[in-house]
């Protein structure tokens, strides 16, 4: 019986999960293609190099030409950075919708006030007004609250446990939608640094090869390889830093929503137990 309120929402959540998975599947190759285009047509534009030749050194102070000299690892790291930006925007939208139309803290306080006054209908109306994942979970709990009020087969403790179980099940349906694609951002934290390190190693190998060549080393070629190493290091660290910040921002937002659900769900269960034990 505790599963009844959550069953109608399951297809919707599955559709949302599928849409998010399709979004990720499309986004990753698109970001790679866009990064390659940026590397070839923007960073590698002849205007950024001496004599209009990309094989030459970049113009003094030209950041685009300098980054282009980072070599083939640059478009890979750029694709990571684009993924972080795109998935961050997508998570902002999804988590913003999950929060609802109003402030979550204010919504929780209103629900608690309605519960304390025993006004379940007003709490339901507030959920309809708020919308979002938090409101969906609370509304499911309030629906179960009403069902338990007319149930004659269980005692008060069993009814309170049924309400708590219903809220937990509704929460379990909502949370995966909020956390989806966060693993991609978390993965980019590590591989951004590692790919930058790979570019650093490739650049240093080229530099030492130049030093090891017979005769006097080519100073221009040596500086190009060292520049390649440092550029890849900077891009990799920068991408990882952005990924870490965004991941922590989103986990903090999700934790806030989870806390709001837990706090309000506890209030629903406590209100039911207190009011119905007093009647008994």
At residue 9, the pLDDT reads 43
At residue 4, the pLDDT reads 41
Contact between 50 and 59 under an 8 Å Cβ cutoff? The reply is yes
Residue 2 lies in a domain: no
Q: How far apart are CA 111 and CA 138, in angstroms?
A: 9
Structure tokens belonging to residue 223: 């500086």
At residue 14, the pLDDT reads 57
Q: How far apart are CA 12 and CA 18, in angstroms?
A: 10
In the chain, how many domains are there? Answer: 1
Q: Give which of 37, 87, 131 is closest to 246, Cα–Cα.
A: 87
Residue found under tokens 């019986």: 1
At residue 274, the pLDDT reads 86
Contact between 232 and 198 under an 8 Å Cβ cutoff? The reply is yes
Residue 85 lies in a domain: yes
At residue 16, the pLDDT reads 62
Q: How far apart are CA 33 and CA 213, in angstroms?
A: 37
**pTM (two decimals):** 0.85
Find the helix packing angle between 156-179 and 10-37, rounded to 10°.
20
Predicted confidence pLDDT, tens digits, the chain (280 residues): 344 444 444 445 556 667 777 888 899 999 999 999 999 999 999 999 999 998 888 998 899 999 999 999 999 999 999 999 999 999 999 999 999 998 999 999 999 899 888 888 999 999 999 999 999 999 999 999 999 988 888 888 999 999 999 999 999 988 888 888 899 999 999 999 999 999 999 999 988 888 877 566 678 788 888 989 999 999 999 999 999 999 999 999 999 999 999 999 999 999 888 887 755 5
List, in sequence order, the alpha helices (H) in the chain.
Answer: 10-37, 63-68, 73-99, 104-116, 120-130, 132-150, 156-179, 182-212, 219-279
At residue 196, the pLDDT reads 95
Domain that holds residue 275: 7-279
Query: Beta strands of 24-118 (E only): which ranges?
Result: none
At residue 178, the pLDDT reads 87
At residue 17, the pLDDT reads 64
DSSP 3-state of 58: strand
At residue 207, the pLDDT reads 87
Residue 1 lies in a domain: no
Residue 23 CA, distance from chain mean position: 13
Report in angstroms the alpha-carbon separations of 19 from 26, 90, 177, 231, 262: 11, 12, 10, 36, 27
């Amino acid at each position: 019986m505790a599963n009844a309120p959550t069953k109608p929402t399951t297809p919707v959540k599955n559709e949302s999960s599928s849409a998010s998975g399709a979004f990720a599947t499309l986004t990753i190759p698109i970001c790679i293609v866009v990064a390659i285009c940026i590397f070839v047509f923007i960073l590698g534009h002849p205007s950024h190099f001496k004599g209009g030749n990309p094989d030459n050194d970049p113009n003094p102070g030209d950041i685009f030409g300098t980054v282009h000299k980072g070599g083939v690892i640059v478009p890979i790291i750029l694709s990571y950075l684009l993924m972080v930006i795109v998935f961050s925007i997508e998570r902002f939208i999804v988590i913003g919708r999950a929060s609802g139309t109003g402030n979550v803290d204010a919504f929780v306080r209103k629900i608690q006030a309605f519960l304390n006054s025993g006004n379940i209908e007003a709490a339901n109306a507030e959920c309809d007004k708020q919308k979002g994942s938090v409101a969906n979970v609370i509304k499911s709990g309030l629906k179960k609250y009403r069902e338990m009020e007319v149930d004659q087969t269980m005692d008060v403790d069993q009814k309170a446990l049924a309400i708590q179980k219903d809220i937990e099940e509704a929460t379990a349906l909502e949370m995966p939608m909020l956390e989806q694609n966060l693993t991609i951002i978390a993965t980019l934290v590590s591989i951004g640094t590692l790919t930058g390190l790979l570019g650093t190693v490739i650049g240093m190998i080229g530099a030492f090869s130049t030093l090891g060549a017979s005769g006097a080393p080519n100073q221009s070629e040596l500086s190009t390889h060292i520049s390649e190493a440092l550029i890849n290091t900077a891009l990799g660290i920068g991408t990882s830093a952005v990924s870490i910040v965004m991941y922590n921002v989103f986990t903090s937002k999700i934790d806030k929503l989870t806390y709001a659900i837990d706090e309000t769900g506890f209030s629903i269960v406590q209100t039911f137990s207190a009011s119905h034990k007093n009647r008994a």
